[in-house]
Amino acid sequence: MEIKTRRVTSETTVRKEEEEEEQPLSPTARIFHAPEFNCYVIAVIGLKKKIEADVITEGLKQTLIRHPRFSSKLVSHGNKKRQTQSWVRTNVVASDHVVVPDIETQNTENGNVNADAFLESYISNLTTVPLDISKPLWQLHLLDLKTSDAENVAVLKFHHSLGDGMSLMALVLACMRKTSNPDELPSQPNQNRSSSTSSRLTAASRGDSRFLWLVMILWSALMLVWNTVCDALEFIATAMFLKDTETPIKGDFRSGKSKRMCLVHRTVSLEDIKQIKNAMNMTVNDVVLGVTQAGLSQYLEKRYGEKKKVGKDEESKSNSNDMPKLIRLRSALLVNLRPTTGIQDLADMMAKKSNCKWGNWIGYIVFPFSIGLRDDPLEHLRRAKRIIDRKKNSFEAALTFIAGNFIIKSFGVQVAAKIINRALSNTTMSFSNLIGPIEEISFYGHPITYMAPSVYGHPHALTIHFQSYMNQMTISLTVDPTAISDPHRLLDDWEKSLQSIKDAVQKRGSGSLD
């Protein structure tokens, strides 16, 4: 009897080890490997000191490489019709993933301007080179390059199948420590997710009016169902025929071929955004959406004006008009549906090899930007808030995630990838926003000046990502240069829009005191 028990226990242990050694890809991860949707996450990290490559490589061995996804390679089984893909654990040689290019001859006497241009060119070249699937799908590039806002630069490149953007960036933060205390993990601000609906329900309940409380619950439930149905119908229509206006920033991805992308960034004051947030009783996300709407309006007005001035031939005249009054310009807002995994949990996972929730649980919200010049710049904020408040009162993100999994299981990865690709191709851009540490942190002993993450490989000519860090907000633009050849001007328009909205808020505040 004792021998039998030991044998069963031994067999169970072997099965567990085999499961740990090989895990099938999640449905979303399989989509990210489809030719129509081959996506990568890239993060540019500015450092305050000269890079010590050996120190960083050793740090990777103690942290990132211990994560199961970063020590597993992709293995395919079967034929093309019935192919399965799995993550298989492998021995990782850190030096195979750390790239230290010799760029001394490139960083010439022209100084910071040349270094900034070289960094943009280097990252652009990275977007054209796929990762080697015979090894774990990640790389770290360490650039001995002094730019206008950093002494040296590190560039992380991950395949999106490793995880969703929020989880990947949380994992990167779990590899970092506070500069004030090298033993402490980065700390992030508390997020208040209370919605206006829940606030109204609480107010009603406090008023001791059971009837009013019941009416509010029923009304909220009805609006939730109605909004979800409307959003679902819009997503279906977008996947089938509903296209955005062909503006100068809408790329053409009908060829299905991957394109060289360009990544630029700009850092602004987070305090300015918070000042607007507090004055308008909004969230930081509401403000950056409103400012983005204003910046896009300014940028498109100039682009349409330039088209009007191009040439004097009849063909140019027929194709060049001022900005149309009605522009359908929608963004795909990425939503992480997995319960948030704490930085501490991820750090424990790497240090102690403990279990932790991981994967790609991504839904989409189709967010319509109201494009147009406004006499009152604050109107951009109000319109953005109205739309996002309605979107929060909907199961659109969860519905797109569930529908995607259903299509994969019913029709296969290729069909699902084509449907998602078509839906995104009919919108104009992607948008995301992540909250970062509130104190200065270091990357294996290298203090950080900024973090600029983004994603490429999806069918959008413009992706805008916001990353907060200490008292700053970094805006990252990933663009198709054939559609947007001047991304720095778009950043200029965004920054000018932030200033005009800030001025309008201050003017309104001083006016209320008179």
Query: With contact defined as beta carbons under 8 Å apart, do 246 and 476 qualify?
Result: no
Is residue 280 within 8 A of residue 288, CB to CB? The reply is no
**Length of the chain, in residues:** 514
CA separation for the pair 292, 497 (Å, rounded): 8
Beta strands in 252-392 (DSSP E): 262-269, 329-336, 362-369
CB 262 within 8 A of CB 490: no
Active site annotation includes 488 = no
Considering the candidates 97, 141, 160, 446, report the single residue annotated as catalytic.
160
Are 131 and 157 within 8 A, CB to CB?
A: yes
Contacts for 391 with CB less than 8 Å, ≥ 6 apart: 227, 231, 333, 365, 367
Task: For 362, list phi and psi in degrees, rounded to 5.
Answer: -120, 130
Phi, psi of 437 (to 5 degrees): -65, 155
Distance, in Å, from the CA atom of 426 to the CA atom of 447, rounded to the nearest integer, reads 41
- CA–CA separation, 171 and 371 (whole Å): 36
C-alpha closest to that of 465 among 366, 359, 334: 334
Please report, for residues 50, 106, 114, 154, 155, the alpha-carbon distance to residue 109 in angstroms, rounded to integers and kept in the order given: 19, 9, 8, 22, 23
Alpha helix stretches (DSSP H) within 148-265 = 165-174, 196-206, 210-240
Residues identified as active-site: 160
